[in-house]
């Protein structure tokens, strides 16, 4: 399927108009960025005035505009297009190619300049350039709109996630305030306890959110250094030790103490913290968490498996998206922001890696994160376009 | 003593569910709870309560509306109370309190969240008397 771009040629010389029409009617442009080919439908106008009417009614994509016209001049039409903020890509044509007109025209929004007489090859070259420009602009616009949409959606969900615990806490406080259960304080124990749990959940959401925005905004300076994974894993295990002890969950760590990688200390710590705390939180009493960290000369593989509640097939698919929490009877009393795993995924991707999961419902899950040991070098190598490996400084 | 009235409460937030249950139980009602529209439907096909209290927005934006309509189809005389966050913050593009909206929202009573115990109990009593 070919896409059709409309080309308007405004020129008072009939020969010029039919010449351009003839060349472009059989011309096809294919661009690497888009799948379909581009073909052209040429519309002709003799004056700037009639050209304007066509521009407003048919919205052509490309305009070839002669400057010397009877009545309104090409530059005047260009001004009107700019004033009306019409989205059209204009190429000025003139028999008197002079630098002044070219500068004047580009100042007024013309994309480029074509001097008469020009060959079919020249106009084809110009049209191909114009198409490239239009497609690029369109993609940039789509991307910007997509970003706006995602941002709006994120904020709506976030607002909802923050409002829910507030509403729950408010409801419980109202119950106490209205003495729904009488005047004895001890009967409100559960009400108070649940309120505190929801408050903790909200706090966790805010902390996770800060982690995530720091990663996504690129505000944080990433400090690359040699990271010892055994040390970091031990630190993360300590952070989850209290809950693990309460539930009598055993945590085993299998890693050689010399496994190192180039990375940002904080980022790797967030990855390990999230994986290990999840494995503890979503476990069962007397359960087990096995952490295995292995490495070859290129990558590090961290796998954390648990003997917990496991995941259903359909739950796995949405697990790594923002704010996704698996809601069921088992997860009801587990605090979570729904940002932990999506953050781990984003971080893993910063290290040219990824996260995957294998799980059996009610039996347990195993999360595996792969990270490139020297992701910075790969990045530099790709951007420099040669084979010299730059050492991280 | 008369058999106490059975009320089904539907909300996807376990704490809101707990709160409504506390208030109703403390005032002598028999309460069943459902954490989703699907659970509620399952319950309703097996048991007929005397009233349903449900949240407007559960998994989907309109799941409360849908469930409400289904309840009225199943048991046309069953009183339904709908709980909702004020319309301005629901993100729905309309005000659910206009006469037009009320004509297709089949709830007998709409209460703003957070609902106070007295307000909820008054509405429950009124609907049971009607």
Structural domains in chain B plus CATH codes: 6-129 (3.40.50.2300)
Asked whether residue A278 is assigned to any structural domain, the reply reads: yes
| A chain contacts of residue B114, beta-carbon cutoff 8 Å | 167, 170-171, 174
Give the model confidence (pLDDT) of A336-358 as tens digits.
777 888 889 988 998 999 999 99
Asked whether residue A189 is assigned to any structural domain, the reply reads: no
Closest by CA to B20, choosing from A175, A96, A183, is: A175
pTM of the model: 0.62
For residue A77, the domain's CATH number is: 3.40.50.2300
Whether residue A299 contacts residue A353, with contact meaning beta carbons closer than 8 Å, is answered with yes
Last residue of a domain, one of A73, A97, A118: A118
By the 10 Å C-beta count (0-12 exposed, 13-18 middle, 19+ buried), A35 is classed as exposed
The pLDDT value recorded for residue A129 is 93
Interface of B with A in 16-35 (CB under 8 A): 16, 18-19, 22-23, 26, 35
| B chain contacts of residue A332, beta-carbon cutoff 8 Å | 14
The pLDDT value recorded for residue A96 is 63
**Digits of tens for pLDDT over chain B (130 positions)?**
467 899 999 998 889 999 999 999 999 999 999 988 888 999 998 999 999 999 887 666 677 888 888 898 889 899 999 988 754 444 554 566 666 666 667 788 888 888 899 999 999 999 998 7
Last residue of a domain, one of A85, A118, A151: A118
Coil, helix or strand for A351?
coil
Shortest Cα distance from B116 to chain A (angstroms)? 7
Which residue's entry shows tokens 């349903």?
Answer: B52
Encoding tokens for residue A113?
Answer: 């300049």
Asked whether residue A265 is assigned to any structural domain, the reply reads: yes
Domain carrying residue A83:
2-118
**Cα separations (Å) of A134 from A43, A111, A322, A382, B2?**
18, 11, 33, 28, 77
Residue of chain A minimizing CA distance to B118: A178
Number of domains, chain A? 2
User: Do A100 and A235 share a domain, yes or no?
Assistant: no
Asked whether residue A172 is assigned to any structural domain, the reply reads: no
Written as one string, the DSSP assignment of A52-67 is: HHHHHHH--SEEEEES
- Any idea what DSSP says for residue A332? T
| Distance from C-alpha of A38 to C-alpha of A29, rounded to nearest angstrom | 5
Which residue's entry shows tokens 């590090």?
Answer: A300
Parts of chain A with a pLDDT under 50: 383-393
Coil, helix or strand for B31?
strand
Last residue of a domain, one of A118, A153, A175: A118
Asked whether residue A254 is assigned to any structural domain, the reply reads: yes
Asked whether residue A216 is assigned to any structural domain, the reply reads: no
The pLDDT value recorded for residue A387 is 37
User: Do A114 and A230 share a domain, yes or no?
Assistant: no
Asked whether residue A271 is assigned to any structural domain, the reply reads: yes
| A chain contacts of residue B23, beta-carbon cutoff 8 Å | 175, 180
The pLDDT value recorded for residue A299 is 93
For residue A275, the domain's CATH number is: 3.30.565.10
């Amino acid at each position: 399927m070919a896409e059709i771009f409309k080309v308007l040629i405004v020129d008072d010389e009939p020969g010029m108009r039919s010449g351009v029409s003839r060349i472009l009617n059989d011309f096809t442009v294919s661009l690497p960025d888009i799948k379909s080919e581009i073909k052209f439908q040429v519309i002709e106008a003799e004056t700037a005035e009639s050209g304007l009417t066509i521009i407003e009614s048919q919205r052509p994509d490309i305009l070839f505009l002669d400057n010397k016209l009877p009545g309104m001049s090409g530059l005047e039409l260009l001004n009107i297009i700019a004033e009306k903020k019409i989205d059209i890509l204009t190429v000025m044509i003139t028999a008197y190619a002079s630098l002044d007109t070219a500068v004047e025209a580009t100042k007024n929004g013309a994309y480029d300049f074509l001097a008469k007489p020009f060959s079919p090859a020249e106009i084809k070259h110009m049209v191909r350039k114009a198409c490239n420009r239009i497609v690029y602009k369109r993609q940039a616009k789509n991307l910007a709109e997509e970003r706006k949409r995602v941002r709006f959606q994120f904020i709506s969900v976030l607002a909802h996630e923050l409002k829910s615990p507030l509403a729950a806490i408010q409801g419980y406080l109202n119950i106490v305030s209205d003495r729904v259960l009488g005047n004895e304080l001890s009967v409100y124990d559960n009400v108070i306890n649940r309120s505190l749990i929801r408050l903790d959940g909200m706090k966790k959401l805010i902390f996770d959110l800060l982690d995530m925005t720091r990663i996504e905004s690129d505000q944080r300076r990433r400090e690359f250094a040699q990271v010892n994974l055994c040390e970091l894993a031990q630190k993360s295990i300590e952070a989850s030790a209290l809950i693990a002890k309460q539930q009598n969950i055993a945590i085993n760590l299998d890693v050689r103490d010399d496994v190192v990688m180039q990375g940002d200390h904080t980022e790797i710590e967030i990855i390990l913290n999230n994986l290990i705390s999840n494995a503890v939180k979503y476990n069962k009493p007397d359960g087990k968490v096995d952490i295995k960290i292995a490495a070859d000369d290129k990558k590090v593989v961290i796998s954390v498996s648990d003997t917990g509640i496991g995941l259903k097939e359909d739950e796995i698919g949405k697990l790594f998206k923002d704010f996704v929490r698996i809601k069921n009877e088992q997860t009801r009393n587990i605090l979570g922001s729904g940002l932990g795993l999506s953050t781990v995924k984003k971080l893993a991707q910063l290290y040219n890696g990824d996260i995957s999961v294998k799980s059996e419902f009610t039996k347990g899950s195993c999360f595996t994160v792969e990270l490139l040991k020297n992701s910075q070098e790969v990045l530099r190598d790709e951007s420099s376009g040669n084979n010299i490996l730059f050492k991280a400084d | 003593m008369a058999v106490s009235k059975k009320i089904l409460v539907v909300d996807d937030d376990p704490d809101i569910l707990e709160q409504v249950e506390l208030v109703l139980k403390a005032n002598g009602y028999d309460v069943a709870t459902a954490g989703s529209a699907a659970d509620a439907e399952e319950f309703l096909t097996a048991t007929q309560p005397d009233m349903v209290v449900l949240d407007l927005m559960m998994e989907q934006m309109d799941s409360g509306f849908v469930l409400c309509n289904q309840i009225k189809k199943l048991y046309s005389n069953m009183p339904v109370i709908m709980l909702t966050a004020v319309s301005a913050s629901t993100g729905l593009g309309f005000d659910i309190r206009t006469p037009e909206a009320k004509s297709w929202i089949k709830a007998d009573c709409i209460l703003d969240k957070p609902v106070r115990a007295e307000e909820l109990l008054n509405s429950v009593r009124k609907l049971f008397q009607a």
